[in-house]
Amino acid sequence: MAARPTTRFAPSPTGYLHLGHAHSALLARRAAREAGGRFLLRIEDIDRTRCRPEFTAAILEDLTWLGLEPDGPVRVQSAHFREYGAALDSLASRGLLYPCFCTRAEIAREVAAIGAAPHGPAHGPDGPLYPGTCRRLAPEERAARIAEGQPYALRLDMAAALAAAGGPLTYEEVGEGRLRCDPARFGDAVLARKDTPASYHLCVTHDDALQGVTLVTRGEDLRPATDLHRLLQALMGWPEPAYSHHPLLLGPDGRRLAKRDGARSLREMRAAGLDAAAVRALAGG
């Protein structure tokens, strides 16, 4: 890790920030400040069906109120799909991607059918692994279906990718040392689909490299994704940051704070009369 680290806070504008977000941002900023480094902000708004401009504006407002302004310009991912497309083209030119025409319903049916077999389907961090149906299509059939205008996702051919990466992959976890990765447990991961032209996994590794991020601080729930991220870094020749996965803040009921569960937002706390110092204290800052 560099002597002066660059860290980042990278929320998705699918709702208002809550204490869990503030906790993560404070940890990232503290890691940078204690070593005289930089703290960056990135808006990860690649999900065009769920992300909204008003939430982006609210994120900027909340961070300014908390005193967590970034060092340098804010990167907004939705303005850079062309860059992510170039990365996808690079992988495709090396035979590491293939088009997948299966719908979610078709995949679910095939996985269910496999589940009735003696050995059942393999499982990864996100559930049953894709069985590789479209990986086995002939090039001529793929081309014909694309020419017909059939929608498709782009999947990483995991076996080919691991062979191209060469050798075992590891990453540096702060306080734990080097840990071995197992990207294969993700199976043939989706790196792009019609409604999301580039996946979280591709965009986050691309941007960490582009922005010179040397220390990725994020929640423990994202630790499994590091295995796939290290594979993409190895395939693309992107630098390897160090990682620091922190425990998640929990609510009074012992469950992790989450937007979908109605976690109290920072805006609600401000409206209730709490000042920034009080909210930072609640967030562990």
User: Could you list the active site residues?
Assistant: 259
> Which residues, at least 6 apart from 284, have a Cβ–Cβ distance to it below 8 Å?
23, 26, 27, 249
- Kindly tell me the burial class for residue 91, based on how many C-beta atoms sit within 10 Å of its own C-beta (0-12, 13-18, 19 or more): buried
Q: What helix, strand, coil percent values describe the chain, rounded to 5?
A: 45, 20, 40
List beta partners, residue 6: 38
Cα separation, 188 vs 5, in Å, equals 33
Q: What's at 25, amino acid-wise?
A: A
What's the length of the chain? 285
**In terms of Cα–Cα distance, which of 30, 35, 28, 33 is closest to 7?**
28
Cα separation, 45 vs 57, in Å, equals 12
User: Pairing mode, if any, of strands 127-128 and 153-156?
Assistant: unpaired
Angle between the N-to-C axes of helices 225-236 and 158-165, in degrees from 0 to 180, rounded to the nearest 10: 60
**In terms of Cα–Cα distance, which of 136, 50, 49 is closest to 101?**
136
Cα separation, 13 vs 41, in Å, equals 12
